[in-house]
Chain A
């Protein structure tokens, strides 16, 4: 019997289309695997009926000889940042606990239209603010990975930590993620899977709980580059309901996959060689260069001089946008309401938001409020937006010398849960390599490279020109074919 939970997106789609097995069998296997993995805490709610109904429809469509969609028969995990009609959507916050949207986000609707089904809503850092999945109101997500010889619970990364844990543990063949400053790539790297953030505007933000609107982008997380290409094709597309949606056709990324990099130049940014970067990371970066050279690419040194300022600029811009976006949670229209005895409207707002937001969310709202306040706007927010323009210009200049950039995804491998909580700044540094591409709106992907001596996965990051997801995917494929990363976490849950 086929072990369905070992199959990825392409295997399932092709197997269902060929009649090797039914979509229902696949959905049942994954539903059972999800039910058996409560200890990972990857899901906030599970929706086995949704997965089964979608599967039955695919089986019926196939029997009727209808054309099947790009994701036909594939049950996926949906990050709980996407509004799903009638299914609780919380952004892992207390303030949205119990919120059941009356509408469906464009990205999730696109996936259902392509024939996918939903296993459940995946846990995340609260409002996608965090890099370790420790800020969720619904508890930490446990990575399926553990250090060799240790039982300490490890971080699956964040904010898409439920997504990364679910895909790495084989309880979902793929999951949606969102990336504001690394939230797809960092968790993918921590758990030995692939994840791509497309060019800003490729995926509609309509129905995605907003964090920092000029940065937020949805993307797929799966175990192979091919699976990411397939799923991204299904997720992307122009949406008139999102004013920043790109009015462009979705390229045939899957059909365009090629690991032959002859004639391509791969840039190695010298500023990414930072103090505090793990030796194993630097070694895997060297290895990555070798792999891409072997695929026919020429390796060139490039400079991105404002790299060091990207992260501090991000921690002004993202909280500023968040403080504005999160003003909507007022206890009036949806979500939590705290109404102390005799309280007026203003007191109700303040009490609701105090009870409904977690510490990290409050911290970022306060920072954002401060940097946007009268007298500080120019010194902080405007300066950060100017630095952001310089970070983007660095990349534009680099594209004169190379086609794609290779860098580590993270400065360290995964760390034990509760080990970095004392200082928010240390946690922020996790995204030092991921944030520059976010600020510039560029497509960027993490692909698993190797394991550390402790048995923890490391990822390599590829950053491409605007709209060149294909170049990123192709370089990712070249690495995947040479890294031959087959390690998977030993089941302890």
Chain B
């Protein structure tokens, strides 16, 4: 399978990356080179194989059902959370107008 400029433009839009014509043109052969190369995976018979879900067998744990079980990842961190925001206003993240 190979991609054309329109497809790359569509992927870039899905990935929310603005790309000009020149950048799209440049990406087309690069992406096709990579996609052609990964195509060889099709040679492998995987009909009897389950896709890997965990590389090292492990069980998912539940944390203690208490508020602020780990104070580092618990609540009450509004100012810390907002400290690096490009536009924090009134204790919220500021964004451009979303609703017309």
Contacts and interface: CB of A to CB of B under 8 A. Distances in A.
- Are A and B associated in one complex? yes
A306 B15 contact: no
Contacts of B3: 370
A243 interface: yes
Given A333-B93, A336-B86, A383-B42, A350 B56 contact: no
Interface residues of B, number: 55
Contact of A344 (B43, B83, B96): B96
Interface in A346-373: 346-351, 353-354, 357, 362-363, 365-367, 369-370, 373
Nearest to A349: B16
B90 interface: no
- Which 10 residue pairs are nearest across A and B when measured between Cβ atoms? A385-B51, A441-B55, A337-B86, A334-B84, A386-B46, A102-B80, A350-B18, A354-B18, A389-B52, A312-B38
B84 A99 contact: yes
A339 B87 CA distance: 11
Contacts of B67: none
26 contacts: A100-B83, A244-B58, A306-B44, A309-B40, A315-B37, A315-B38, A316-B41, A323-B15, A334-B86, A335-B84, A335-B86, A350-B17, A362-B19, A362-B27, A363-B31, A366-B15, A369-B11, A373-B11, A373-B14, A376-B1, A385-B52, A388-B51, A389-B51, A392-B52, A424-B33, A425-B34
A56 to B, nearest CB: 26
Given A201-B56, A215-B55, A348-B96, 4 more contacts: A334-B85, A344-B96, A383-B46, A423-B33
A370 B15 CA distance: 9
Contacts of B35: 367, 370
A12 interface: no
A387 interface: yes
Interface string A372-416: 010010011011111111101000000000000000000000000
Nearest to B79: A102
A350 B16 contact: yes
B23 to A, nearest CB: 8
Contacts of A466: 56
B12 interface: yes
Contact of A369 (B14, B33, B50, B86): B14
Interface string A327-343: 10011111111010001
A365 B86 contact: no
B22 interface: no
A270 interface: no
B95 interface: yes
B85 to A, nearest CB: 6
B37 A312 contact: yes
B70 A241 contact: yes
A240 interface: yes
Contact of A240 (B31, B51, B61, B93): B61
Nearest to B98: A345
B12 to A, nearest CB: 6
Contact of B41 (A241, A313, A336, A349): A313
Contact of B96 (A246, A345, A376): A345
Contacts of A383: 41-42, 44, 46
A135 interface: no
A384 B46 CA distance: 10
B56 A199 contact: yes
B89 to A, nearest CB: 12
A380 B72 contact: no
Interface in B73-100: 73, 77, 80-81, 83-87, 93, 95-98
Nearest to A369: B15
Contacts of A351: 18
Interface in B58-75: 58, 60-61, 63, 70, 72-73
B49 A390 contact: yes
A293 to B, nearest CB: 31
B31 A370 contact: yes
Nearest to A440: B55
A365 B17 contact: yes
B52 A357 contact: no
B68 to A, nearest CB: 13
A425 B34 CA distance: 7
B21 interface: no
Nearest to B26: A359
Nearest to A366: B11
Contacts of B34: 315, 363, 367, 424-425
A357 B56 contact: no
B95 A332 contact: yes
B97 to A, nearest CB: 7
Nearest to B15: A369
A386 B95 contact: no
Nearest to B63: A240
Nearest to A368: B15
A398 B45 CA distance: 20
A200 B44 contact: no
A309 B37 CA distance: 10
